Amino acid sequence: MRAIRLFSLAISGIGAVIAIAALSSMQATAVSSASQTEAAVDAQGNLHVPRDYQTNYQQLGSWAVAADEGRGAKQLHVVLASPGSIEAYRKDGRFPDGTVLVKEVFETATKEMTTGTVSHAEKLKGWFVMVRDGNGRYPGNALWGDGWGWSWFDAANPTKTTSTDYRLNCKSCHVPAQATDWIYVDGYPALKR
Rounded Cα gap, residues 130 and 92, in angstroms: 19
- Verify binding: residue 168, ligand HEC, rule CB under 6 A: no
Distances (CA, A) of 73 to 2, 66, 141: 76, 4, 36
What's the CA gap between 141 and 74, in Å, rounded? 33
* One residue of 3, 11, 16, 173 binding ligand HEC per CB under 6 A: 173
Told to check if 41 binds ligand HEC by CB under 6 A, we report no
Beta bridge partners of 145: 148
Q: Binding of ligand HEC at residue 152 (CB under 6 A)?
A: yes
What is the rounded distance in angstroms from the CA atom of residue 91 to the CA atom of residue 112? 42
Q: Is 179 in the site for ligand HEC (CB under 6 A)?
A: no
Q: Distance of alpha carbon 180 from its chain centroid, rounded?
A: 14
Min CB(173)–ligand HEC separation in Å: 3
Q: Which residues pair with 81 in a beta bridge?
A: 58, 101
Q: Does 144 bind ligand HEC (CB under 6 A)?
A: no
Is 150 a binding residue for ligand HEC by CB under 6 A? The answer is yes
Q: Which is nearer to ligand HEC, 22 or 164 (CB)?
A: 164
Question: Which stretches of the chain bind ligand HEC, using CB under 6 A?
Answer: 63, 65, 77, 79, 101, 103, 128, 130, 150-152, 163, 166, 169-170, 173-174, 177, 183-184, 187
